Amino acid sequence: MRALEALAKFCAILAGVLLTGITLMTCGSLIGRNTVGVSIVGAFELTGVAAGAAIAMFMPICQARRGNIIVDFFTARASARAQAGMDRLGAFVIALIFGLLAWRSTLGGLNSHSSGSETQIMGFPEWIVFAFMVPAFVLAGLIALHQAVFGFTVPEDAAGEGAI
């Protein structure tokens, strides 16, 4: 799990760098438009594709740290063992969903590449976004699968326990 979590952290750092770059580009475009009347053409498109890629790239760290929404209203009174079993089942289901997302994103990226699909204003190749999303979905799926098989590790300070 340490290797998977290290990759998840790296993925999150890349996503943060990507969003920081897009933020700086947006600021530059706004400052240019409001001071000298010149903005970056297609900044809106780049913001959209970068945000899509970044969201996917944050998924592995979110899964590794159990940051996904858990609705425990109905299971709050269940035993710890029952909750752990349901958590593992949920992790398996989300692993399947991430696998599906990776598969379909791969097909979408291949289709986008073969058709030469680009954004409308800048002509940015759309397949590049898929190239960032697919590995992130695969990684998130592997993390979820690991959690389904081996259980979850809760930080010592959060629950005072080890693995659940």
Encode pLDDT of 34-49 as tens digits.
999 888 888 888 999 9
Q: What region, left, alpha or beta, does residue 124 occupy, with left being phi > 0 and alpha being psi -120 to 50 degrees?
A: beta
**pTM of the shown model:** 0.83
Lowest mean pLDDT among 33-37, 46-50, 69-73, 85-89: 69-73
Asked if residue 161 has pLDDT above 70, the reply is no
Asked if residue 155 has pLDDT above 90, the reply is no
Asked if residue 20 has pLDDT above 90, the reply is yes
pLDDT of the residue at 54: 95
pLDDT of the residue at 88: 92
Backbone φ, ψ for residue 125 (5° rounding): -65, 125
pLDDT of the residue at 154: 54
| Average pLDDT of the residues of the chain | 88
Whole-angstrom distance, CA of residue 65 vs CA of residue 158: 12
Asked if residue 159 has pLDDT above 60, the reply is no
Asked if residue 160 has pLDDT above 80, the reply is no
Whole-angstrom distance, CA of residue 161 vs CA of residue 100: 33
| Residue extents of the structural domains in the chain | 2-159
Summarize the confidence of residues 49-76 as an average pLDDT. Answer: 87
Summarize the confidence of residues 7-25 as an average pLDDT. Answer: 95
For 62, other C-beta atoms within 10 Å of its C-beta total 15
